Amino acid sequence: MTTDKTPLIRVLDLEKKFDNINAINNVSLDVYEGDVLFVVGPSGSGKSTFLRCLNRLEKPTGGKILFDGVDICSPNCDIDIHRQKMGMVFQQFNLFPHMSIMKNLIIGPMRLQKKSREEAEALACDYLKRVGLLDRKHDYPNQLSGGQKQRIAICRALCMGPQVMLFDEPTSALDPEMVGEVLSVMRELAEEKMTMVVVTHEMNFAKEIANRIIFMAEGEIVEENSPEEFFLNPKSDRLKAFLGKVL
């Protein structure tokens, strides 16, 4: 594959222990610019923990994570700077309920990137237009449906101009009829070559837009493949069993 390039994210022997639970064991992985990497696996296999280690919301207990060549696990690394370049979208949206939609979108660029209000608002309006929610900019998060909230949450992350977007089950908290609107925003992002790491249970969506899929079980990467091979020719028994259940 793309071995001639240096990876945007390089994970080396990552390990994460919670007290006595081994959530992540010896995981190594390279994510390249433009990758749309999907992470699937059974519940409790460590997918969220893995994703949250990438921007150090969880502090790894072993191994290394290089982002853009910088070891973000080293104690003298300023993680706040790097997090600005890694957008994160949560299952529960986590919009700030005491701020208007517009405020949710501009607070990061204004406070952290010292953009002027005009500049930040113009950027926010661009993204709001793209997800079809420009007319809701003065509303508050609780006035929106789940699907709308999640589209706003994606905009909020994009307004920081990230180099990679991390998604943790972005559609799992949504009513079925709202899943499509969020997936189509993600599809557009993938088409624009945004680097994405996506944890999901939406297998058909993974098949459709991923360029790589990894299967995690018990804190390890059991198998990685292209979408076609992943679903047609699963190698390990665990993946076969998993696909048997979810497809």
Partner 1 sequence: MDNIVRSFYQNFIEDNRYQYILDGLKNTLIITFFAVILGTIIGFLIGAIRSTYEKTGKLKFLNAICHIYLAVIRGTPMVLQLLITYFVIFASVNVSKIVVSIIAFGINSGAYVAEIIRSGIMSIDNGQFEAGRSLGFSYNQTMILFIFPQAIKNILPALGNEFIVLLKETSVSGYIAMQDLTKGADIIRSQTYSAFMPLIMAALIYLILVLVLDQFVKYFERKMRNSDH
Ligand X SMILES: Nc1ncnc2c1ncn2[C@@H]1O[C@H](COP(=O)(O)OP(=O)(O)OP(=O)(O)O)[C@@H](O)[C@H]1O
Output the smallest distance, CB 94 to partner 1, in A: 4
- What is the C-alpha to C-alpha distance for residues 226 and 210, in angstroms, rounded to an integer? 8
Q: Which residues contact 46 (CB under 8 A, 6 or more apart)?
A: 16, 23, 24, 216, 218, 219, 220
Please say which residue, 47 or 156, places its beta carbon nearer to partner 1.
156
Any contact of residue 48 with Mg ion (CB under 5 A)?
Answer: yes
Binding partner selected for residue 97 from ligand X, partner 1, Mg ion, none, CB under the kind-specific 5 to 8 Å limit: partner 1
Any contact of residue 150 with Mg ion (CB under 5 A)?
Answer: no
- What is the C-alpha to C-alpha distance for residues 166 and 162, in angstroms, rounded to an integer? 10
Per CB under 8 A, the segment of 66-74, 86-94, 220-228, 238-246 that binds partner 1 is: 86-94
Please say which residue, 18 or 96, places its beta carbon nearer to ligand X.
18
For 9-163, list the strands marked E by DSSP: 9-18, 21-31, 36-40, 62-67, 70-71, 86-89
- What is the C-alpha to C-alpha distance for residues 57 and 76, in angstroms, rounded to an integer? 16
Residues 66-85 contacting partner 1, CB under 8 A: 80-84
In one letter, which amino acid is 21?
I
Q: Which residues bind partner 1 (CB under 8 A)?
A: 55, 57, 80-84, 86-88, 90, 92, 94-98, 107-108, 111-112, 140-143, 156-157, 160
Q: Which residues bind Mg ion (CB under 5 A)?
A: 48
